[in-house]
Amino acid sequence: MYVKSRGEFASKQVLSKNLAFLLCFASFCAGMFFTNRMWMVPEANGIRLTSRTEGKQFVDCDLNVVLKNEANSSRSISGSKHSIETVDKAISDLEIKLMAARAERETIMKDPMLSVGVKNIESTSKRKYFMVIGINTAFSSRKRRDSVRATWMPQAEKRKKLEEEKGIVIRFVIGHSSTSGGILDKAIEAEEKVHGDFLRLQHVEGYLELSAKTKTYFATAVSLWDAEFYIKVDDDVHVNLATLGMNLAGHRTKPRVYIGCMKSGPVLAQKGVKYHEPEYWKFGEVGNRYFRHATGQLYAISKDLATYIMINQNVLHKYANEDVSLGAWFIGLDVEHVDDRRLCCGTPPDCEWKAQAGNICVASFDWRCSGICRSVERILEVHERCGEDKNALWSTNFMQTTKSSS
């Protein structure tokens, strides 16, 4: 009896050991399985965390859902940021337009004659123009004006057609004499009645006041005409209008562009010399040079820059030379300077050779005279030898992206 019971007990003991061994082995396998499931290495070609066993692939679906949600959240944040930036830009544009409208109103209110002019062109001012060309002139330059009218500037109905069909406005720009209503002003008024091609400024004429005149011109022009470009040119320079238009059309997509023949001349500290700079000390040591700026015979700026001048005209500093002043107004802004040598060709034979080679110049003048030497006598010759085809202006479409607004 005792022996039998002992045998049964031994048998049970062996069974328990076997069972324990099996349980341990099963636990080990389960541990290995779950360890592989939990500690997974990301694949190099994606963010799929998997374990590979005997060619089978197991994917953690829950983790993929989390990653997808995070990606969607990132896209939502990026989209929101873009929307905020868009709204900020729209608000900034509206603020600029509001400031421009206020500055425009102030400019018009300061000049009674300008107020009358605005009423006269109220219907046409609603449309958009391609470019406004202001020809800088003086009281003593009647013969120069007539020589320009006889060459590159369309007259009468052709000038009106140029505005209506091509969106190109051309005016002689002049202020008033120191004696308002005197003989000089009356002579301009009489000339205006004949030709109707003046833009009168609220400005007292004088050679040392060219910087102020330039500032007033841009502020007044942008108040009267909503154009893409605003150009200043001297009355002793020859211009090919179609070539100028095609040149500017290539810069339409640029918001703040300043186009001209860029130069960096010496700052002249010596008194009594031409182009003397009274504020030479601001440019460093004697003998230094100016920053890059467009030469004053002809340059063009986009609407944003003209608007900037109009808004800030009361605080923009004026240097002795108007081309330096204009460059100084833009030096701290995000402006693209375009150096185009076609805007400063020489008179024949220079511009003639270039025209024969198919590179027609935008503007021609003599550097030594800062314009065409003896322009009254010679501008017709320059026009005949360096001018573009007579039909070029009327056959070129400048208004491809400029439409009238209602």
- Which of the four pLDDT bands, split at 50, 70 and 90, describes residue 169? very high
| Residue 336 clears pLDDT 90, i.e. is over it | yes
The 8-class DSSP code of residue 166 comes to I
Residues 143-149, mean pLDDT to the nearest whole number: 98
125 versus 94: the higher-pLDDT residue is 94
pLDDT digits (tens, 9 = 90+) for 303-333: 999 999 999 999 999 998 999 999 999 999 9
48 SS3 class: coil
Inter-axis angle of helices 142-149 and 183-195, to 10 degrees? 10
| Percentage of the chain exceeding pLDDT 90 | 57
Cα torsion for 295, 300, 302, 305, to the nearest 10°?
40
- Which of the four pLDDT bands, split at 50, 70 and 90, describes residue 24? low
pLDDT digits (tens, 9 = 90+) for 246-258: 999 999 999 899 9
405 Cβ neighbours under 8 A, 6+ residues apart: 126, 127, 128, 226
| Residue 5 clears pLDDT 50, i.e. is over it | no
- Which of the four pLDDT bands, split at 50, 70 and 90, describes residue 207? confident
Buried/exposed code over 171-196 (b: 16+ C-beta within 10 A; e: otherwise): bbbbbbbeeeeeebbeebeebeeeee
Query: How much of the chain is in helix, strand and coil states, percent to nearest 5?
Result: 50, 20, 30
34 versus 291: the higher-pLDDT residue is 291
Dist CA 85 CA 111 (whole Å): 39
pTM: 0.71
| Residue 60 clears pLDDT 90, i.e. is over it | no
- 236 and 372 Cβ atoms separated by less than 8 Å: yes
What's the CA angle centered on 268, arms 177 and 238, to 5 degrees? 55
Residues 92-118, mean pLDDT to the nearest whole number: 54
Residue 286 confidence (pLDDT): 82
Q: Of 3-12, 268-277, 356-365, 391-400, which range is least confident?
A: 3-12
Dist CA 56 CA 336 (whole Å): 61
- 295 and 344 Cβ atoms separated by less than 8 Å: yes
Dist CA 364 CA 386 (whole Å): 8
Cα torsion for 10, 16, 18, 24, to the nearest 10°?
-150
Residues 197-204, mean pLDDT to the nearest whole number: 96
